[in-house]
Structure 1
Amino acid sequence: MADEGLRPIIIKRIKKSGGGHHGGAWKIAYADFVTAMMAFFLLMWLLGSTTKGDLQGIADFFSTPLKVAMAGGSGSGDSSSVIKGGGKDMTRIDGQQKKGEDLTPAKNFNLKAAEAELERQEVNRLKALKERIEKAIDTIPGLQQFKNQLLIDITTEGLRIQIVDEKNRPMFALARAELQSYTKVILHEIAKILNDIPNRISLSGHTDATPYSSGEKSYSNWELSSDRANASRRELIAGGMAENKVLRVVGLSSAVLFDSSDPLNPINRRISIIVLNKKAEDSITQENKKVDVSDKESAQEAVETAVNAQQVKPAPVAPAAPVAPVAR
C-alpha cells in the first residue's frame, strides 16, 4: 500500500496545430490570385469601355518621359530640353539623333510648281504641234491651196484648228452637211497628224447668222451645225484617226461668230478642231461630278464659279429677217 502512494503521475500534453496538414499559407496565395484576376478583368472592362481618343491619351501619358513632360520637347535629347543633344552622336547639339538615322535632307515637293511645270511642257508640246501642222500645210500639195482656209492658234482649251469657208469655196454643200471633196482631203491630212499625239479633241460646227425660212421651230442652223460637226468627225476617222480620240462634238449655230461685226460673213461658217489640253479635258470629263460644299471654302468657290459663268456675255448676233436658205 505504501508503494502505491509513491507511484509517479505522468501527464501527456497534446500540442494542437491550427493549420492541419497543409497549414494556412494557401489561403494567402488564393487571395492574391483572386485579387489579380479581379484587377485583370477590371482592366479589360476599362479598355473595352474607353474611347479611342482616351486610349491614345493614356498611351501618350505612359510613353512620355517625365523629363520631356516637365522640360518640353519631342524627346529626352531634344534641343528644347535642359541638356541639349543626346543619342549616340554626342557631337550633335541640335536635337537628338538615334542610331541608324538617315541624315539625308528630306525632299520637299511643291505640288503647284509640279503642276505649273506639267502645264508648261504641255504648252510647248502644243506649240510644236502647231509648227508641225503649219509645215505640213506648206509642204503637202493637197493642203497648199487651202492655206487661207486653215486658221491655227492656241487658246485656253488647247490648240485650235479652224477650217473656214471662203466665198467661192465652201466646205459643205449648200445648206447641207455633205462635205466637198477638197474638205475631205483637208480632214484626212489633219487626221494623220492628230493620231500621233495623246491629246483628245473637241469638234464644233458653226454657221453664219442667215436663218432658215422656217425659223428655229424645225430644222435650223443648230441642227445644221451639229450635223456638219458629226460629218467632220466621221471623215477624220475615215482618214485614220482613232475613234476614242473624239471627246466632244457640238453644234453652236451662229452663237459664236468668228466675225462678230459681220454675222453673214462666210468665214463664220467653219469647223473648229481643238486639241484639248489636260485642264480642258478634265473640265469636260468631270462636268457631271458633284461639288462638295460641306465646308465654307468649297461653297464659296462654287458660288464664285457660278457668278463668273453668268457674267460671260455671248457674241452679239445681228437680227435678220427670215429669208430663203443660202450658202452656209
Structure 2
Amino acid sequence: MSDLKQIIVVRKRRKGGHAHHGGVWKVAYADFVTAMMAFFLVMWLVGAGTKQQRAAISEYFKNPSMTQGQSTMAPSGKMGPGGASTSMIKLGGALELPKGPGDQQAFAKPAESEVEKLAKAQEKRRLEQLMKDLNEAIAKSQAMAPYKDQLLLDITSEGLRIQIVDKQNRPMFDTGSGALKSYTVQILHELAGFVNQVPNQISISGHTDSAPYIRADSAYGNWELSADRANAARRTLIEGGMQPEKVARVVGLAASVPFDKANPAAAINRRISIVVMTREAARAALSADVATEPGPPTVPHLHSPG
C-alpha cells in the first residue's frame, strides 16, 4: 500500500452573513424622514396660505399640471393618462404667491384689531382672576372679617373696581377730615399687595354724601374733602407696599356720583373707589382733560359678614 498524503480542505464559514445589509436601514430611514418633511411642509403651506391658495393647492393635486384648467382628471402625458405632464414646470423652489395689491401674503402679520382683541381678552381674564383672589382672601382673613360688608368688588368698563364704603356706625375717616381710621389703614394695606399682582395702573376717587360740609373759612367743602380722602388712600396704599407709579389718577368727586341715588344722604355714598384700570382706560385717564368714573353697579357684589 502506497503512502498517500490526504489533503483536507477546511472551509470556515464567515460570521455575520447579513453584514452586507448593514447600511440599508439608513437609506430607508432617510427616505422616511424626507417623506415626513415633505408631508409637514405641505401641511404648513395649507395652514399658512389663504383660502384661494389652498384651493389652488387642492386643484394642483387633482390636476398636477402647470396648465390652468378646471378638469378634475389628470392630463395625459408621455406615459399615458395620469403620467408625467408635458407642460413646463418652474423649478423656483418655493410656492409662488399672488403679488397683487389686494392679495394676502402667506406670511402676513395678524391684523392689529385681532392683536388688540386678544390683548383685551387676556387682560379681562387677569382682572377676573384678581377679583377671585381678592374675594377668597377677604373671606379667609380674620383681620378683615368685621369689614367684609364694607368691601364691594365688581368689574366695570374701566376695570376691576374695589370700593370701601362707610357704615352708619363705622366710618372710614374722622368726621370732616381726611384722617383715616386705623381699620381703614389696615384694609388698604391688605389691598396694596393684591393691586401689585397685576401691571395695570389704578385710579383712586373719593366720594361724600350730599350733606353740605363747609368749614368756618367757607373755602373748604365736599369737593376738597373728597379729594383729600382720595389722596390719603393713595398714600396709605403706597405705605402698604404698592408701587407709586401705579397711580394714574386721584380725584375728588364730592357727591356727584352717589352710590345710592335714591338716598343721596346715605352713609354708603361716602366711599373710596379704587379701580384697577384696563390699558385703554389708563390711556384715556392720562390723556383726557376731564376724568370721569362709571356709575355704581346695578347689583353690587357685597360681602356679608361671616
Q: How would you bin the TM-score normalised by the shorter chain?
A: 0.5 to 0.7
Structure 1 residues 112-121 or 101-110, which shifts more? 101-110
In the alignment, is residue 101 of structure 1 matched against residue 94 of structure 2? Answer: yes
Q: Which runs of 5+ in 2 are unaligned?
A: 1-63, 69-88, 98-104, 297-306
Alignment partners' CA distance in 1, 2:261 and 2:107: 53
Contact 1:226/1:250 (8 A) holds in 2: yes
Of 49, 66, 71, which aligns to 1:92?
66
Superposition deviation, residue 91 in structure 1: 3.6
Contact 2:158/2:294 (8 A) holds in 1: no
Contact 2:201/2:277 (8 A) holds in 1: yes
Contact 1:164/1:267 (8 A) holds in 2: yes
Question: What is aligned with 2:266?
Answer: 265
**Cα 1:224/1:237, change in 2 over 3 Å:** same
Q: CA RMSD in A?
A: 2.9
Question: What is aligned with 1:176?
Answer: 177
Q: What do residues 43-86 of structure 1 show as CA deviations (whole Å, max 9, x unaligned)?
A: xxxxxxxxxxxxxxxxxxxxxxxxxxxxxxxxxxxxxxxxxxxx
**Cα 1:313/1:191, change in 2 over 3 Å:** closer
Superposition deviation, residue 100 in structure 1: 4.0
**Cα 1:137/1:92, change in 2 over 3 Å:** same
Q: What do residues 130-151 of structure 1 show as CA deviations (whole Å, max 9, x unaligned)?
A: 0100001011111111100000
Question: What is aligned with 1:256?
Answer: 257
Map 1:155-234; keep pairs closer than 5 Å: 155-213=156-214, 218-234=219-235
Map 1:1-328; keep pairs closer than 5 Å: 91-93=65-67, 99-102=92-95, 106-108=106-108, 109-213=110-214, 218-287=219-288
TM-score (norm 1): 0.57
4+ residue segments displaced more than 3 Å: 100-105, 213-217, 312-315
**Cα 1:199/1:101, change in 2 over 3 Å:** same
**Cα 1:97/1:128, change in 2 over 3 Å:** farther
Q: What do residues 218-274 of structure 1 show as CA deviations (whole Å, max 9, x unaligned)?
A: 100000000000000000000011111111000000000000110100000000000
For the pair shown, the structure with the greater C-alpha radius of gyration is 1
Superposition deviation, residue 102 in structure 1: 4.3
Contact 2:200/2:246 (8 A) holds in 1: yes
Contact 2:223/2:252 (8 A) holds in 1: yes
Q: Which runs of 5+ in 1 are unaligned?
A: 1-89, 289-308, 316-328
Q: Secondary structure at the match of 1:141?
A: coil
**Cα 1:216/1:284, change in 2 over 3 Å:** farther
Contact 1:255/1:314 (8 A) holds in 2: no
Contact 2:214/2:220 (8 A) holds in 1: no
> How many residues get paired?
204
TM-score (norm 2): 0.61
Query: Percent of counterpart pairs with the same letter?
Result: 45
Higher relative contact order (CA 8 A, sep 6+): 2
Q: Secondary structure at the match of 2:143?
A: helix
What is the one-letter code of the residue matched to 1:113? E
Question: What is aligned with 2:19?
Answer: none
Structure 1 residues 109-118 or 241-250, which shifts more? 109-118
What is the one-letter code of the residue matched to 2:278? N
Q: Secondary structure at the match of 2:115?
A: helix
Q: Secondary structure at the match of 1:182?
A: helix
**Cα 1:103/1:139, change in 2 over 3 Å:** farther
What is the one-letter code of the residue matched to 2:213? Y
